[in-house]
A and B are shown apart, each in its own frame.
Chain A
Amino acid sequence: MVKNRNPVRFLGRKIVNFLSEFGEISRLLERTFSFVPRLGRDRILLFNQMAHIGSNSLPLVVIIGFFTGMVSAWQAASQFKGLISLSLLGSAVSRAIFMELGPVLTAIVIAGRVGASIAAELGTMKVTEQIDALESLGISPVRYLSTPRVVAGTLMLPILTIFANVIALIGAFVVANFFLGISEKVFFDSVKRFFHLKDVFGGLFKTFFFGGVTALIGVHVGLRTTSGAEGVGKSSVRAFVLSASMVLILDYVLWTIIF
């Protein structure tokens, strides 16, 4: 059906929808955190989610980390050519990895792997009345489903990022050593020379937010799912798009605050 749309009204409705959805997410966040004190009792739910996120994502994170490290070494080498000595390559590459590449790429992978799967799982539960069934047993879906996932996301992303950082550094070293002829000593001396703990921790600090936001959006989109299997598919795509965008926006905001 083709509707005759008044563009002003269409835009107006989009903005109102956006704001009201933003309000909903904020309320979900508030309610999710209100159950954090209960996590001591619900620790099994939390540990399950952490294990789930870790085991689902680690292989992917390792592969992405390795290739990111390798390509960033090539990229740096081509930018340095004729301008800067290759002996500084280790420092440039490691700082880029610790501050940006490791945290952001890991977060985007998790948005696809974890955010979308949370949305699909909760979306399926919604359309098959399992969320209603929880409610009917006097169990809060926010406490039972949202809090463990959001907290697990917040805690696991930094851990996965540490893995990604280490693997990426190894990847960069492999390229530097085998293809660019930079010795182990030169590479790691350069890494150490400009190494600031603040870079590493600044990068990891961001990932707490990335992980929490990704899981929160997955839960939010999942719980809003309507209209059957088709809706579930739409929700998982939507969760990925929203959380990946939020990661990049947050990355900018946090960068200006931290660095």
Chain B
Amino acid sequence: MIEIRNLKKSFDDNEVLRGVDITIHDGETVAIIGESGCGKSVLLKHIIGLLQPDSGTVKVDGILIADAKEDVLYALRRRIGFLFQSAALFDSMTVYENIVLGLWEAGERDEVKLRQIATEKLGLVGLGARSLLDFKPSSLSGGMKKRVGLARALAMQPQYMFYDEPTTGLDPVTSDQIDYLILSLTESFSTTSLIITHDLFTVKRIAKRVIYLNKGLIFFDGTPKELEQSTDKTVVQFIERFVK
């Protein structure tokens, strides 16, 4: 369970989060939407403690992130898969090393098993056809990097998955494939998922709940259906552009 209470965060004079409250239960799939620059990525980074709140609290499975000891925090993070908006691949390592680094550091040394896991995860994200394992990230396209980042996040079979724009920059077919991957993870492993997206199609397809972040506050929190039927001016305006 993720509990965010009255979370506030500013960078200098830029008030990004102005009191955010969210509770996410185990097994939920929640989409987060909002204008570019409204603080979606910042919100996600607070949940794994990459950013510290100015005030308010973030708890994951009862662990208060701001006060957690380093080993407790790192153990928690190993149960969370995080896909960065920028993919954030390690550019000194190969695709294979990127994907299995977490497992290797957690003590898995069986090379055959590691390569098998890496191949399997690449397959899941639609990169199974070509053998990319020994490529360096610099020789991949933007969309490929994103998917390798996803494969890396999936490698440890995390109980939580946070996706920062998983399908941005991907072609429609691959986007569909990623949508179904997210769905199937939720179904087979009851993974708790948070997905930042600009794709209303994705929202409707995979999320049971959608949160609209606006001006540093939760403006809307409900089902995709309720979102579409909302008569609030701000919501309607945002959705109109969304659907195009």
A interface vs B, CB < 8 Å? 124-125, 128-130, 132-140, 144
Contacts and interface: CB of A to CB of B under 8 A. Distances in A.
B70 A137 contact: no
Contacts of A132: 45, 50, 84, 88
Contact of B88 (A129, A139, A144): A129
B90 interface: yes
> Could you say which of A124, A129, A137 has the most chain B C-beta atoms within 10 Å of its C-beta?
A137
Interface in B94-110: 101-102, 105-106
Given A137-B78, A138-B74, 7 more contacts: A128-B88, A130-B91, A132-B88, A136-B153, A138-B76, A138-B106, A140-B70
The 5 closest A-B pairs by CB, nearest first: A138-B78, A129-B88, A136-B82, A137-B102, A133-B88
Contacts of B76: 138
Interface of B: 45, 48-50, 70, 74-78, 80, 82, 84, 86, 88-91, 101-102, 105-106, 152-153, 156
A128 B86 contact: yes
Contacts of A128: 86, 88, 91
A133 B84 contact: yes
Contacts of B45: 132
Contacts of A134: 90
A135 B91 contact: no
Nearest to B45: A132
Nearest to B106: A138
8 contacts: A128-B91, A130-B88, A130-B90, A133-B82, A134-B90, A135-B50, A136-B84, A140-B70
A57 B48 CA distance: 39
B48 A140 contact: no
Contact of A136 (B48, B75, B86, B91): B48
Nearest to A42: B105
B105 to A, nearest CB: 5
A135 B101 CA distance: 12
A129 B86 contact: yes
B74 A136 contact: no
A140 B91 CA distance: 18
A129 B42 CA distance: 13
B140 to A, nearest CB: 14
A26 B82 CA distance: 31
A139 B75 contact: no
Contacts of B78: 137-138
A198 B197 CA distance: 67
Contacts of B105: 137-139, 144
A70 B234 CA distance: 77
Contact of B77 (A124, A130, A137, A144): A137
Nearest to B75: A138
B90 A140 contact: no
A14 B106 CA distance: 42
A136 B101 contact: no
B74 A139 contact: yes
Contacts of B80: 136
Contacts of A135: 48-50, 77
A1 to B, nearest CB: 15
A138 B77 contact: yes
